[in-house]
Amino acid sequence: MVSALLLAALPLAAALPYSASIFAGSTTSAVFPPPGATSASYDEYFPDAVEVGFAGPTPTGAEPEAIQTAPASPVKVDAYPLVADGAMYSPSFNPMRYWGNLSPWFSVGGAFGLPEASPQVPSGCELTQVHIVQRHGARYPTSGTNEFAALLQSTVANGTGFTAKGPLEFLNTWTYKLGAEILTPFGRQQLYDLGSTSKVQYGHLLDGFTQLPVFRTTSEWRMVQSARNWAAGFFGLEEYPTSYYEEIIIEEDGYNNTLVPWDDCNNANGDLYSMGSWYANNWTEVYLKNTVTRLQQYIDGVELTTSSVSEMQDLCAYETVSIGYSKFCELFTEEEWRGYQYANDLDFWYADGPGNPAGAAQGIGYVQELLARLTQTIMTEFDTTTNGTLDGNNITFPLNQPIYMDATHDTTIASIAVAMNFTSMVASGPLPVDHIPDNLSYNTQHIAPFAAHLVGQVMTCPASGGPPDSAKYIRWLLNDGAVPLTGIKYCEELNKDGLCLLDNFIKGMQERVAEVDFQHDCFGDDVEVPYPDNLTNGRYIR
C-alpha cells in the first residue's frame, strides 16, 4: 500500500509490546521469533521469486461479480479451524453464537426482520457502489482485563496454592497463554477470507476506478493488521502493497476520527459509558448466582465470585479464538451461555447503543462522511468526529470510488447502527436488567461479532414504471442480513429486499444528522446517570 501524505502510522515497536504471561505457577512464556533470530541472517541462500524467475504463465481474467451473477449467496456458518465443545449443552446448540462481540461472525439470515432478502443483488438490478464498514478480526484480550488468571497465580505466589477436581481439575496444570490486543491467527484468517470474499462479490467494481482506491483504518496495530489482511485477500498477497492507498488515521485522544468516535466525545468515556458495565454486572449477579455454588465445590483455596466465573466464560471465548480450543467452554450450560450473551447485549445497549444518550452522536460523524460520498460533495463543516484535515481533502477523502472500505471497532458499528436509526434492532424495547425479554431483537453477536461487516449496496433497479425507467436504490447488509430501513424518514415503507430510493435515503439521513445534537450529547453535563431505561434511539431526551 502507498502511505498517504501527512498520515502517522503507529510505530512498530510501540505496536507490539511484549509482557510475560500470567498463569498459576509461572511468570514466563516462550516467544516467537526466538530472540536474536532475523529473516536477514541467511538472505543470500533464499532468493525471492523475482530472482528465481521461471514463474510460468500469469494472465489474469475478468474481475468477478458473484454478488450480481450467482443464483445464491454463500452462507457463513462455521468457524473453521476453531473447536467449541461442551458436555452440558445439546448438539443443536453452538455456544460460539452466544459470545456477543467475542463471537466469530456468521451469516445472520433474516435476524433483522427481512427473511426473504438475500445478499445477492435483486434480479434486474445492477450494483454500482459498495460502502464497507469492517470490524477487525478476532483478537487477544485487552491488557489486564482477566483477573481470574491473576487470582490463581496469587495463590501460588503467596504459598497457599489451590486444588481443583472434577470438571475444574484441568486448572491444576492450566497455563495462561494469551497475548494482548493484537489479532490472533484466526483473526488474521477472518480478514483475509473477507477480503477474498469481497473480491469475488464486488471485484467488477474495480473497473470503475480512475485512480488507486483509498481504504481507511486506524493506527492501533490490530486495526492495521486487519486492513492489510483484508487487502491481501482482496488484491492478492503480492499485489496488495501497490494496489491501494492505506490511510491510517491516528487513534488517540486529541485526534478526530469517525472510526474511533469515543475519543472525541467526553460523555462516551465517563459515567454514561459505565452504565453498560453497571447493567451487565447486575445481570451477572442474577444468571451466575447458582453457577458459583455449582463450581465452588470443585476447587479449594480460591473463592469464586460471579465476576470470576464470568471471566471463565470470557476465557472460553478468548482461548478458542486464540489457541483453537478451551476447556472452560465445557463448564457452562446452554442457559448460562444465553445469560452470558445477554450480559454482552446489556453492555452494548447502555454503553454504545440505543440506550446511551451519546450513542447516536458517536456514529453521526460516519453518517456525515457517507452523505458526502453518496452526494459527491466535499465536506466543509467539521463539527462532530469528522477530521477537517483528512475529510476536507479529496486526495485523502475521495468522493468517486465504486468501493469504500473502512476498518473499525465493534462499538463503532453499534453506534453507526444507532445513528442510522436501524429501528428493527430495538423492536423488543429497552433491555431489562433482571431477565431476558422474549423475542429479543438486540443481539450483539448479530451486530458486532469479530470481523463484523456492514455493507451499503448502491444499485440501479427498474422503477415502478418498468423498463426503460430505472432509479437508484441503496440497502444495508449487516453480516449478510438485510436491515429494514423503515426507521429512516422517507424510507418507511417496508421493502422485502431492504431497498430504499437513494435520494430518499439521503434526505432521511440529512434530517437524522440535523436531529442529533452532537455538542450537547457528547459534552453536556446535565444528563442523569444512570440514564432512564426508556431510551431506544441513542439520543438525549429533553
Find the DSSP H helices in 66-209: 66-69, 147-157, 185-202
Contacts of 5 (CB under 8 A, 6+ apart): 395, 396
Calculate mean pLDDT across residues 500-528.
95
In degrees and rounded to multiples of 5, residue 164 shows phi and psi of: -120, 150
Cis ω before 17 (30° cut-off from 0): no
77 is a domain residue: no
389 is a domain residue: yes
For 27-54, what is each residue's pLDDT tens digit? Answer: 456 677 777 777 676 778 877 788 888 8
Q: Give the up-direction half-sphere exposure of residue 193: CA atoms within 13 A in the CB hemisphere.
A: 21
Give yes or no for a contact between 521 and 365, defined as CB atoms under 8 angstroms apart: no
- Which SS3 state, helix, strand or coil, does residue 499 take? coil
- CATH number (domain holding residue 489): 3.40.50.1240
Q: What total number of domains does the chain contain?
A: 1
85 is a domain residue: no
Give yes or no for a contact between 325 and 425, defined as CB atoms under 8 angstroms apart: no
Give the per-residue pLDDT at 17: 37
Bigger pLDDT: 65 vs 320: 320
444 is a domain residue: yes
Q: Which structural domain range is residue 261 located in?
A: 111-143+182-267+357-523
Give the per-residue pLDDT at 463: 67
Give the per-residue pLDDT at 23: 54
Bigger pLDDT: 244 vs 88: 244
For 356-403, what is each residue's pLDDT tens digit? Answer: 999 999 999 999 999 999 999 999 999 999 999 999 999 999 999 999
At residue 6, does pLDDT exceed 80?
no
At residue 82, does pLDDT exceed 80?
yes
In degrees and rounded to multiples of 5, residue 341 shows phi and psi of: -55, -45
State the pairing for strand pair 245-249/2-3.
Answer: parallel
CB count, 10 Å around CB of 160?
Answer: 11
512 is a domain residue: yes
Q: pTM score, two decimals?
A: 0.92
347 is a domain residue: no
Give the per-residue pLDDT at 24: 63
73-102 burial, b at 16+ Cβ within 10 Å, e below that, comes to beebeebeebebebebbeeeebbbbbbbbb
370 is a domain residue: yes
103 is a domain residue: no
At residue 130, does pLDDT exceed 90?
yes
Taking the C-alpha atoms of residue 114 and residue 427, their distance in angstroms, rounded to an integer, is 14
Give the per-residue pLDDT at 465: 56
